[in-house]
Chain A
């Protein structure tokens, strides 16, 4: 083993430990955040008994869940029942491996440990556990595996509610995965690369992709919500219909695995949103952050954290505001709106990029993206106009009327 390989292994192990720990603690704190956010929205206080402002509440919940009795239904398929939470948990954890959390840091060391020998490293250290060249393709591939956990949990519980929940979730996740994948093709068109590092670099030279690719962002956001089974897409666990959906029969830590996986997925999706459309760890209006250094890495990490936190808050905000879709509406939205929208957008973007580059002969990256942004404003106006006209989810008889009744209902006063 060469000293450089050993150095790489050492750093990789360290990064893995750090990311995993931060993610697990973060997920635990996210449950607290969710409860606090919902409490603020609902004029409540939220958890405030355990620790200062309830900060130890997640720890208390964790201890409770570990100590609770595990029950396995007598008629459940035991192996799959035990396996399902892990199958939901592991992909969720793996996803966070490729996200670049901060600017790369130049690290140089050369030391020798007794027994282990010499460790060396020289060069930029990417702040992703694995800076894979396949980038977001890895995310798409692994996130698809998450559905197995949920579908198996639903099936193996031998419970009708769980089964319906599992069925719904597999149908839902598969449907929205397509739209999600399609919505990322325009990103590929602009950046010319699937690796996160290249995508961030392209956004640093040009514009954040949310501007030139707004509709892509829109589709990705919706699909991301659906992929993480959050309201308004939480049909698999729709508590008013299916009690708790696919995890009705789970208890104790096996149950906790599902919320942990869900929150880890939220973190990943939000990090994806930030990385793909909001410049990742890029600090806007400055090039200083790319120069490399400890301070730069810390600050870019902080910026990334704030951006991701905002989107997590956004997801929670949506959850506590909106009602839930119905199954057929969910499918209609996925297949009849999101997918055609994403496909059409690919065509439009392709033509636009070709036109701008070859027709107009625009050279500058930023100007090119500004032109695309102008195009997107027009497109988004059309799309939202169409959606707002109520042709998507409105009940059938109101589809023809242009607006909803503004005035109170007809009143009689005999």
Chain B
């Protein structure tokens, strides 16, 4: 209910702002909706959204799995931390644009280059979060697992992984929002399709209804994924807590 109300407020604000600014700068909702419907009918909207989502999914999975593994290793092994730390700092502070441009130069304007560039941008934040989580692991529970001779994999699954779960969720949450942003830049710079590419085209043609149509459809998809996937996942992980934070 509250969500509906806030959506209505958003629409109303938009409409009023459109009236003040004039349709050339900010078209009112019906015009944008019409543009959206045209794109949807031709199939272009779904194709572009689908392509972008596929890139997000691939880059996100790649960065999360690799980043979690590296982060866990750096949290557990002092040498790995020593070796990895300078790289981590470098990657953390490298602007996304630099990574994307270099990836396109070195690997060509290819799908692999785009996905790798997005993944590399997200990787260091996952590493840092998971390293923090690994450092916070409860040594007392490790001792318990050792005393009871719980096999390594079983101990990892039941003792270690639940402790890391909030960190994984946090890395996923922040990582996803980062990937949503970077994927469009990567598409704008070097891909022939996707939401980012369409927004680039709309920008060059100064087609504001098309630009907004793609931006809002994309935002809607992000919202749906956040509420339908990320939030239930987090709630499930913390169900054992007496009061969920």
- Do A and B interact with each other, yes or no? no
- Could you tell me which A residues sit within 8 Å of B by CB distance? none
